[in-house]
Structure 1
Amino acid sequence: MDPGIYSGLKVEAVSTASREFMGEDKYIASIKPSRIAERMAREAGYSPVLVEKYIQILGDEEEAREIIKWNDKPLPETIRCNDFLIPCSELESMLSQKGFTLSRIPWLPHGIEVLEQPIRVGATHEYMQGLYYIQDPGSMLVAYLLGAEPGEVVLDMAAAPGGKSTHIQQLSRDSTTLVAVDISRRRMRALRSHMQRMGFRSYVALRADSRMLTSIAGAGWADKVLLDAPSTGEGIIRKDPERRRSRSQLDVLKVHYLQLELLYTAVDLARPGAPILYAACSTSPEEGELVISRLLRLRSDVEVETLEAPIGSPGVETYLGMEMEGEVRKCLRLWPHRHGTEGFFICRLKRKG
């Protein structure tokens, strides 16, 4: 989603704290690429700042070259079998008979890679019948890590077009009360369509700016909260090569504050003791570890939980000379060159109490 769709609404606590962060922000906004980064950027058609960030985050020029190389490889087409309607083995058989070549993704129980497709994977009768959802591997991981249980009230704060919302309902057998919120009218239409197509009924869809939810619905009521935050999309260069040079650091910081406001609100909406799963499709710490770090500086009623994930690297603890607050190492990073996925950040928090 384009983060620009969000209005100028501000979360007061975050807006006030932004003055405290001003010195850090000026430093982040004025990253000076090294000569090596400048040269690598010219060779690969990247923003020099993005290449410098790769070097800073990964700590190694050669590994930065490796991620640039991997970003040139198209992201594999992958689908998530909807075993709420059909066993995955039956779906595989049906698609194989139509000429599809498929391979199970070993670390995703419902993930299938489409190696060959005689027709577009989004144009089959099976797709129209809701038997699968087209979804990237990193995105599939999120609902498993949220771990919604039957009977819970689950809030998805940036839900459309519905990939993670439908997955939550699939894993809970449509037995959670899912509150799916998104600001985009167009994307909410897609969410409702996917929910209907895939057979899910136990949800409420609300078009709203999730930063307003405490005013709309009060605080402290969600058993679990998912925030797959609007992002710069720096993690999906494999799908959208333009993103290798289309975002400035000022763009990144603007999105950072939107993410921080949404996550601050997520904690308010969670009941005491409830988990909050934060995710962002970005390789930038400004959209991952720094969001978590600053949230922990603003609030004493939240902590980072350990993630038990089948793949991933630890969160980045030091960035541009800044030490992150809290135990961000417990967070999870997916890298194209290490894990074969899009670039992704996931962190599980808990509201204390």
Structure 2
Amino acid sequence: MDSSIYSGLKVEAVARASRVFRREDEAIASLKPSRTAERLAGEAGYSPVLVEKYIQILGEEEARELIAWNDKPLPETIRCNDFLIPCSELESMLSQKGFVVSRIPWLPHGIEVIEQPIRVGATHEYMQGLYYIQDPGSMLVAYLLGVEPGETILDMAAAPGGKSTHIQQLSRDSTILVAVDISRRRMRALRSHMQRMGFRSYVALRADSRLLPSIAGIGWADRVMLDVPSTGEGIIRKDPERRRSRSQADVLRIHYLQLELLYTAVDLARPGAPILYAACSTSPEEGELVVSRLLELRSDVEVERLESPVGSPGVDSYLGVDISGEARRCLRLWPQRHGTEGFFICRVRRRV
């Protein structure tokens, strides 16, 4: 399809007009759990449909492992802000206060807090901006975007600031960061984190990112970060209510929001620029299917293979839905495999 005739806000209408997409949406919306899924869901307090999705993707044995892992407490982890302090010095300061900490070997700035005499968010070091409380999977995202000094980088769903502060940390506050989010409350948190951690080279804009082409034009961002709003099915360890709080209708609604945002991200990127798409979800509807449909709607996008220290390839078979083989180049983080939250990460590039 000719991408030039669509705007981000029209993507859902265009996609739903596709006979193939309609058939796939019907299959997704009408997913029926098996008896095995219903039994496992009853035992663990899950939505039977969510458990059926686990089984479809992972098989019954690993689905059981995932459910068991989701009952384990999520480790407390922080990202050292080496813009203000060497990580070794931060470790020493925390140890002197009675914290037991350990470096996360596959993350340059990741530290696990094993024991804490006081809440890790209530220390002077935290108030001084020496670290950010963040899950390892979420930390990984900014590294995979890649950052070069002097670039103009757009963060399209920026608040409360985890990815934005990390981008500025990696660039030594030398990029021009445009941080956009629709939530007034969360944008206040972003500004607070930026100030706390010592970053100044940014613009914070409260807006619906799907409207950015009409506000700021197209084709100007050197890189785009898009950690989309999601169902949060990947954070069950943090929020157990996610086990049963979302229907397939909710998933499809959020899928189209994500597709609109990603479509708009490509418009905003300059030719040749990478876009890092991430979703805190285990559902292919929020990951591989979003990327696959983007490729159907536009001919000016390619998926790049990610070089990551951890992760599994993207899903390429799900409910009979047509998922592009390029989705295998994307990355999935699973609690039972990688000890993180459930995450989908994909880097696409706008063709020159």
State the TM-score, normalizing by the size of structure 2. 0.97
Structure 2 residue aligned with 1:254: 253
Structure 1 residue aligned with 2:135: 136
User: How far apart, CA to CA, are the structure 2 residues paired with 1:326 and 1:351?
Assistant: 18
User: How far apart, CA to CA, are the structure 2 residues paired with 1:197 and 1:274?
Assistant: 30
Code of the aligned partner of 1:24: E
Report the alpha carbon displacement of residue 326 of structure 1 after superposing the two structures with TM: 4.4
Structure 1 residue aligned with 2:24: 24
SS in 2 for 1:342: coil
Alignment of 1:286-301 (within 5 A): 286-301=285-300
2:142–2:163 CA contact under 8 A, matched in 1: yes
User: How far apart, CA to CA, are the structure 2 residues paired with 1:224 and 1:326?
Assistant: 24
Code of the aligned partner of 1:185: R
Structure 2 residue aligned with 1:202: 201
Structure 1 residue aligned with 2:9: 11
SS in 1 for 2:113: strand
2:80–2:87 CA contact under 8 A, matched in 1: yes
Moved more, 340-349 or 9-18: 9-18
Report the alpha carbon displacement of residue 26 of structure 1 after superposing the two structures with TM: 1.1
Structure 2 residue aligned with 1:6: none
Code of the aligned partner of 2:210: R
Code of the aligned partner of 1:252: V
Code of the aligned partner of 1:167: H
Alignment of 1:74-223 (within 5 A): 74-223=73-222
Give the gaps of 5 or more residues in structure 1: 1-8
Structure 1 residue aligned with 2:4: none
2:159–2:180 CA contact under 8 A, matched in 1: yes
Structure 2 residue aligned with 1:46: 46
Report the alpha carbon displacement of residue 325 of structure 1 after superposing the two structures with TM: 1.8
Report the alpha carbon displacement of residue 270 of structure 1 after superposing the two structures with TM: 0.2
| Aligned-residue RMSD, C-alpha | 0.9
2:316–2:325 CA contact under 8 A, matched in 1: no
Report the alpha carbon displacement of residue 10 of structure 1 after superposing the two structures with TM: 6.6
Q: Structure 1 stretches (4+) deviating beyond 2 angstroms?
A: none
User: How far apart, CA to CA, are the structure 2 residues paired with 1:14 and 1:322?
Assistant: 18
Alignment of 1:230-245 (within 5 A): 230-245=229-244
Report the alpha carbon displacement of residue 150 of structure 1 after superposing the two structures with TM: 0.3
User: How far apart, CA to CA, are the structure 2 residues paired with 1:11 and 1:294?
Assistant: 15
1:304–1:326 CA contact under 8 A, matched in 2: no
| 1:285-328 Cα shifts (integer Å, max 9, x gaps) | 00000000000000000000010000000000010122312410
1:154–1:178 CA contact under 8 A, matched in 2: yes
User: How far apart, CA to CA, are the structure 2 residues paired with 1:13 and 1:77?
Assistant: 39
Code of the aligned partner of 2:26: K
1:306–1:330 CA contact under 8 A, matched in 2: yes
> How many pairs does the alignment contain?
344
1:157–1:181 CA contact under 8 A, matched in 2: yes
Structure 2 residue aligned with 1:36: 36
User: How far apart, CA to CA, are the structure 2 residues paired with 1:338 and 1:351?
Assistant: 31
Percent of residue pairs bearing the same amino acid type: 84
Give the gaps of 5 or more residues in structure 2: 1-6
Moved more, 21-30 or 341-350: 21-30
Code of the aligned partner of 1:43: E
SS in 2 for 1:277: strand
Code of the aligned partner of 1:293: S
| 1:84-117 Cα shifts (integer Å, max 9, x gaps) | 0000000000000000000100000000000000
Alignment of 1:293-312 (within 5 A): 293-312=292-311
State the TM-score, normalizing by the size of structure 1. 0.96
User: How far apart, CA to CA, are the structure 2 residues paired with 1:40 and 1:208?
Assistant: 42
Code of the aligned partner of 1:28: I
1:296–1:326 CA contact under 8 A, matched in 2: no
